[in-house]
């Protein structure tokens, strides 16, 4: 695989794509006219921010010593020498620079709220593992992912499509944020021993192995409860319960994690968690879109 593609971490990109689809579907469900250009630009911007963040994490984790020869996860390009440090730094600048350029168009559409979201997203992406107070090293990574890849990404996308903030978009953002966070939960569970050795104080290192496994299960269950609650309380939106189709797969993931799978054996679970997010998000977006009033 091309080193730059490897550095972009393709398996994590659903975390950028799914919230945009769900946010656009939420706006459409409430009567907004779908704007294809705005949707495409939002999607590109989200992907660029995600890729820039991945580049920054690759670089900063190596500099801080969290990535080393004993790591259990996929190859990191800086640590392995596939791409030199200077080139990775340039990649970070280019990715975030392009995100700012695309974001300028979105800011023209959405005004100051989108400017604020864009600035916060870039700063947080850089500060996730870099800077004087790296979020991921102080147990704040899970909160960061839930807020930016769930709440902000979904509601911000809906706002760009409709021009107003939506309670439906906020409700749909919660399960998406939880399932995106579960990708990080598995990542941190796998790396728990090496993170402790490197002094990387993720939430997993703070609450321990058993509680982290419980966290994965609780987040998964809540993610499915929310669309069910929406469908039950509002029969006109019962199609939002479509994600129940993949509930058996989700429970299988939960049981596998609960049984104590660890180390490199969690890498396939990490990939399956990403695929679960894709399937859940596609069904949730479809259900929301099909619930649009006539």
DSSP string for residues in 23-82: HHHHHHHTTPPP-HHHHHHHHHHHHHHHHHHHHHHHHHHHHHT-S-TT--SS--HHHHTS
pLDDT higher than 80, residue 81: no
Compute the mean pLDDT over every residue in the chain, rounded to the nearest whole number.
Answer: 91
pLDDT higher than 60, residue 88: yes
State what percent of residues in the chain have pLDDT above 90: 70
Q: Which of 7-16, 71-80, 173-182 has the highest mean pLDDT?
A: 173-182
Residues 197-221 have a mean pLDDT of 92
CA distances to 89, 227, 270 from 175, in Å: 34, 8, 18
pLDDT of residue 71: 54
Q: Which of 52-66, 186-200, 217-231 has the highest mean pLDDT?
A: 217-231
Question: Domain residue spans in the chain?
Answer: 3-290
d(CA 284, CA 182): 17
pLDDT band at 1 (very low <50, low <70, confident <90, very high): low
pTM of the model: 0.93
* Secondary structure (3-state) at 201: strand
What does the pLDDT look like over 31-76, one tens digit per residue?
999 999 999 999 999 999 999 999 988 888 777 765 555 555 566 7
CA angle (57 as vertex; 54, 59 as ends), nearest 5 = 110
What does the pLDDT look like over 133-149, one tens digit per residue?
888 788 899 999 999 99
How far from the centroid of its chain's Cα atoms is residue 201's Cα?
20
CATH T-level fold of 3-290: Farnesyl Diphosphate Synthase (1.10.600)
Contact 38, 161 (CB under 8 A): yes
pLDDT higher than 90, residue 131: no
């Amino acid at each position: 695989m091309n080193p730059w593609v490897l550095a972009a971490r393709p398996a994590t990109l659903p975390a950028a794509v799914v919230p945009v689809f769900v946010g656009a579907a939420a706006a459409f469900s409430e009567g907004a006219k779908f704007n294809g250009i705005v949707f495409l630009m939002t999607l590109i911007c989200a992907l660029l921010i995600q890729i820039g963040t991945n580049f920054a994490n690759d670089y900063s984790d190596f500099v801080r010593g969290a990535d080393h020869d004993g790591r259990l996860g996929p190859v990191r390009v800086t640590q392995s020498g596939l791409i030199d440090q200077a080139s990775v730094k340039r990649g970070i600048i280019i990715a975030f620079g392009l995100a700012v350029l695309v974001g300028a168009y979105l800011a023209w559409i959405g005004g100051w709220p989108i400017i604020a979201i864009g600035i916060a997203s870039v700063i947080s992406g850089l500060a996730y593992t870099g800077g004087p107070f790296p979020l991921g090293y102080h147990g704040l990574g899970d909160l960061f992912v839930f807020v930016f890849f769930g709440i902000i990404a979904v509601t911000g996308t809906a706002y760009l499509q409709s021009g107003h903030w939506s309670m439906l978009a906020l409700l749909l953002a919660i399960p998406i944020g939880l399932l995106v966070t579960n990708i990080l939960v598995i990542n941190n569970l796998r790396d728990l021993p090496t993170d402790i050795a490197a002094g990387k104080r993720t939430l997993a290192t703070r609450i321990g192995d058993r509680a982290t496994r419980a966290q994965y299960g609780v987040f998964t269950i809540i993610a499915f409860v929310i669309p069910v609650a929406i469908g039950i309380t509002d029969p006109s939106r019962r199609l939002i319960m479509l994600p129940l189709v993949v509930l058996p797969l989700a429970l299988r993931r939960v049981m596998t994690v609960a049984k104590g799978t660890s180390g490199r054996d969690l890498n396939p679970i990490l990939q399956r968690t990403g695929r679960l997010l894709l399937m859940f998000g596609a069904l949730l977006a479809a259900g929301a879109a099909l619930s649009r009033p006539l």
